[in-house]
Structure formats: C-alpha cells, structure tokens
Amino acid sequence: MSNSQSRPMYVARERFSRETEAERRRRQPGQSSGLVTDWCANKLHEVVHEGRILDLACGNGRHLPELAGPGIELFAGDFSKPMLEKAMEMDLDAPAVCFEAERLPFETDSFEGVFSARFFHHLPTTEVRSEI
C-alpha cells in the first residue's frame, strides 16, 4: 500500500482497543445475525474444503466456531489484543494474530478463504476497502 501513513485509519480503532469494549461485546449473535453468519460460513466451506481460513477482524471470536472444521487451519486476526484474548478463550486451536487489517502481515495467497463480519464499513475510504 502506498502512502499508508497519510491516509485515514480505521475509524473505530480506539473504541475496539479498550478492554471494556471487548468485554461488552457479546459472543452470541442475534437471531438474524446468526443466520447470516451460518449462511456465510456454509458458503465458505463449500469453496474451501481444507486449508487455511482467516477470520479478518475476528473481534471476540464469535464466528470462529462456525468457521472451524475438519481439514481447516483457522487463524483469528484482529488489531485489538483484548478482543483476541476473548477469542482465544474459545480454545479452538486457532492462532491469534494481532495486526492492522490495512497492513496484512501475510503474503498474497496465504489463505484459501477469508471471512469478515461487520468490519469493512468501519474503514474510512473505498480505496482502503478495495486494497484489503
């Protein structure tokens, strides 16, 4: 990404960095949210039968159980250490990787699939969203 220092950053960064926010967010999605998550996870598993899946901006890990499965090497990624700590309480054998989504620390094609829920609308510009 060029000129990454001058562009606007993830707009909710400060809020999601706080321990209180990590604690406040619930692990259980609402009914409609759960249906959407299940549908997305099923579609992802139709395409990715085995390999590496990244839950990008995983937050407290509420979607990790739906993404886990036989033959899947799951990675939990978020910039908030308190949120990653909550995600790791699920004990799903998914490495927790702390990083900023605007600067992914992975090589191109490192994953067979990427899942992300409720994240992209927090990014400041279409340019940043399209680069991810």
Domain boundaries, given as residue ranges, for the chain: 13-23+35-124
pLDDT value, residue 64: 92
Closest listed residue to residue 74, CA positions, set 65, 85, 86 = 65
Instruction: Tell me the pLDDT of the chain averaged across its residues.
Output: 80
Identify the CATH homologous superfamily for domain 13-23+35-124.
Vaccinia Virus protein VP39 (3.40.50.150)
Summarize pLDDT for 59-85 with one digit per residue, the tens: 889 889 989 999 999 999 999 999 999
pLDDT for position 3: 45
pLDDT digits 0-9 by tens, 29-39: 555 567 887 88
Which residues in the chain belong to E strands, given as ranges? 51-56, 72-78, 96-98, 113-115
